[in-house]
């Protein structure tokens, strides 16, 4: 069964002003319980702010490092989930439900990518 990675995109500056919603954690907890029981969720987590991250790039035969925050980027990856779904439609439905648990005043996006599974080397 194919695996999908959902990248949760947020605007870090706007996220600091998100209003709290007492029902948010309860809605998220119920969804996570359901998706775990369905055997779909393999792993999920939020990510630390970009201020604590580092980007590495390869150019001209050299690796360079840039420490965060990455102010030139409006949206950043704020979390991820790895799900095992029958197809992209199922991954989209679970992700739609995940986004719908958030308060209406928040702005959160998601990108779903199917994991390109590498063939298992002989002998493994």
The pLDDT tens digits for 12-71 are 888 778 888 889 999 999 999 999 999 999 999 999 988 999 989 999 999 999 998 876
Yes or no: say if 28 and 111 are a contact pair by the CB < 8 Å rule: no
| Nearest one of 73, 81, 75, 78 to 113, comparing CA atoms | 81
Q: How far apart are CA 115 and CA 124, in angstroms?
A: 20
Task: Note if the pTM is more than 0.85.
Answer: no
| CA angle (109, 115, 120) in 5-degree steps | 165
Yes or no: say if 94 and 85 are a contact pair by the CB < 8 Å rule: yes
């Amino acid at each position: 069964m194919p695996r999908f990675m959902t990248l949760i995109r947020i605007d870090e500056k706007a996220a600091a002003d998100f209003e709290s919603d007492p029902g948010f954690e309860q809605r998220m907890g119920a969804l996570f319980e359901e998706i775990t029981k369905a055997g779909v969720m393999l792993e999920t987590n939020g990510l630390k702010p970009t201020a604590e991250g580092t980007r590495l790039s390869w150019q001209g035969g050299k690796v360079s490092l840039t420490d965060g925050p990455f102010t030139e980027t409006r949206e950043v990856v704020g979390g991820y989930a790895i799900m095992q779904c029958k197809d992209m439609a199922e991954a989209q439905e679970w992700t739609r439900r995940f986004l719908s648990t958030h308060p209406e005043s928040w702005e959160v996006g998601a990108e779903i990518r199917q994991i390109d599974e590498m063939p298992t080397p002989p002998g493994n």
